[in-house]
């Protein structure tokens, strides 16, 4: 039996004390991006669980889109990632 091992970190501890693992990330076939899924990917990139290039390739995102998620999450929290509330958090 062969067990596939991903390269890199498998788990990171977030500042609030919770753990984020690769199992917590959304499926690579995700089509509907809700705020919680965007936040999971942005946190994974921010805290070193995923490399930004790997995240873009895995989830078919542009670098600008991923950067905007990370920026919105760091400035305003998960609420800023909701599509219906995006205009409130733009400058």
Domain boundary assignment for the chain: 13-89
The phi and psi torsions of 57 (rounded to 5 degrees) equal -70, -45
- Return the CATH fold of 13-89: Arc Repressor Mutant, subunit A (1.10.10)
d(CA 72, CA 74): 6
d(CA 6, CA 62): 23
End-to-end CA distance of the chain: 54
For the record, the structure tokens of 83 come out as 């599509």
Could you tell me whether strands 11-13 and 19-21 are parallel, antiparallel, or unpaired per DSSP bridges? antiparallel
Q: Which residues of the chain have pLDDT under 70?
A: 1-8, 85-87, 89-91
Query: What DSSP string runs through 36-56?
Result: HHHHHHHHHHHTTSS-HHHHH
Distance CA 47, CA 20 (A): 9
Q: Is the pTM of this model over 0.75?
A: yes
Give 76's strand partners: none
Residue 35, pLDDT score: 95
């Amino acid at each position: 039996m062969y067990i596939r091992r991903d390269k890199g970190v498998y788990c990171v501890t977030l500042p609030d004390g919770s753990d984020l693992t690769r199992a917590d990330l959304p499926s690579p076939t995700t089509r509907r991006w809700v705020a919680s899924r965007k936040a999971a990917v942005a946190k994974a990139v921010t805290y070193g669980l995923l490399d930004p290039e790997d995240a873009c390739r895995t989830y078919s995102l542009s670098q600008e889109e991923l950067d905007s998620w990370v920026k919105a999450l760091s400035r305003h929290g998960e609420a800023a990632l909701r599509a219906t509330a995006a205009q409130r958090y733009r400058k």
